[in-house]
Amino acid sequence: MKRTITWVSLALLRSGGGWYGKAAREILGSFCDVSLKDISFSSFRYRVFTYVKPLLIVLNLVLLWFKKAQDVWIYDDIVSALVPFWAKGRKMLVIYHIDPSVWPAWQRIVYQALRKYIYWNIRNVDGVITISKYWQDHFLDRGFKNVYKIYCPFVMEDFTLDEEEVLQFKKKFRLGDKPIIYLGNCQKEKGVMEAYEALKDLDLHLVTSGEPMVQLPALNLNLSRREYLCLLKASVVALTMSKFKEGWCITAHEAMLLQTPVIGSGLGGMRELLEGGNQVVCEDFRLLREKVEYFLRNPDARNAAGKMGYEYAKNFSLERFENAWVRLIKNHLDKQ
């Protein structure tokens, strides 16, 4: 009889955390019965639900106490630690990143009030999984013992784009006449507003992607997955100037796999990625224009940075991810 795992997800399904969890569940499903309990309430879009959602999340976490026992419960997001981990079975907690600085003010106040309790509660899980050394050290430095690092997976075949495909993308969106700078996902927290202000006087195509969460004069494209990769490939530089502590930075990693140089803030786990691939860390928006202009003027430096980024980024394979997750969960199942 297969062992049972329930993955309790607070990560939005279209976010990096949602993607990471989906990949892990597919792997664990090869030897366990894996079910998903999605309590992210990601379909709640109206402003009033900003206050209702946390209450619904807490209620759903409490209701798990009365569910059938599982061999392993896997929770993601630190918000899971608002409720004691009393569900029957071994408990694991996946932490992508922790940075309340970008939360609404009332959530920051609640988090700071409960912070000591949250970290005390996390000590009751059987293991904490992080996706970068930065966040692994965050817990190790606070005296946690069972802290595991499992990096994000990437399927190399997804990043094979020929020149003709990229050329057709540029023609479709009329981007062939000037260099393209990718500013990032169109969110305030991603630093796109400051990046635009730093570069707006240059003769460039400044492009954001995804659902626009902030109004910006830059061109925003809501693209398919393949078109998004074409945008990264077509860009002279990809910017990942996040203003919060990233867990890793999937956008930066994807750009590196496409041999596009990256300039990023390096906050949180992103620094490990950028420094590992010899990309550019820019901690000050006032220096961003200078660093972008350097790559615009120096195609040799741009090509060298692209190649170095690729050589590092290609090591984060799906096989590596699979081996780490299978080894971790089987070891914990063997202890029961």
* DSSP summary character for residue 126: S
Q: Which of 42-46, 89-93, 192-196, 307-311 has the lowest mean pLDDT?
A: 42-46
Q: Are residues 172 and 306 in the same domain?
A: yes
Q: In total, how many domains does the chain have?
A: 2
Q: Are residues 48 and 148 in the same domain?
A: yes
Question: If you average pLDDT over residues 21-30, what whole number do you get?
Answer: 95
Q: What is the pLDDT of residue 103?
A: 79
Q: Are residues 134 and 183 in the same domain?
A: no
Question: If you average pLDDT over residues 125-154, what whole number do you get?
Answer: 97
- Whether residue 6 contacts residue 73, with contact meaning beta carbons closer than 8 Å, is answered with yes
Q: Considering the chain, what percentage of its residues have pLDDT values greater than 70? A: 96
Q: Which residues contact 191 (CB under 8 A, 6 or more apart)?
A: 184, 239, 241, 242, 243, 265, 285
Q: Are residues 122 and 45 in the same domain?
A: yes
pTM summary value: 0.93
Q: Are residues 201 and 301 in the same domain?
A: yes
Amino acid at 85: F
Count how many Cα atoms sit within 13 Å of the Cα of residue 231 in the half-sphere of its side chain.
28
Token pair for 310: 């690729």
| Structural domain span for residue 218 | 156-313
Q: What is the pLDDT of residue 292?
A: 98
Q: What is the pLDDT of residue 43?
A: 64
Is residue 169 scored above 60 in pLDDT? yes
Q: What is the pLDDT of residue 104?
A: 79
Is residue 46 scored above 60 in pLDDT? no
Q: Are residues 167 and 121 in the same domain?
A: no
Render the burial of 79-109: b for 16+ CB within 10 Å, e for the rest: bbbbbebebebbbbbbbbbbbeeeeeeeeee
Q: What is the pLDDT of residue 243?
A: 95
How far is residue 330 CA from its own chain's centroid? 26
> In whole numbers, what is the pLDDT of the chain averaged over residues?
93
Give the CATH number, domain containing residue 25: 3.40.50.2000
Q: What is the pLDDT of residue 107?
A: 81
The closest alpha carbon to 85, from 124, 120, 37, 126, belongs to 124
Q: Are residues 306 and 165 in the same domain?
A: yes
Q: What is the pLDDT of residue 49?
A: 60
Q: Are residues 134 and 163 in the same domain?
A: no
Q: Are residues 29 and 130 in the same domain?
A: yes
Q: Are residues 210 and 330 in the same domain?
A: no
Burial class (CB in 10 A: 0-12, 13-18, 19+), 120: exposed
Any idea of the CA torsion for 215, 98, 248, 144, to the nearest 10 degrees?
A: 180
Q: Are residues 298 and 254 in the same domain?
A: yes
Q: Are residues 31 and 119 in the same domain?
A: yes
CA gap 40, 144 in Å, rounded: 27
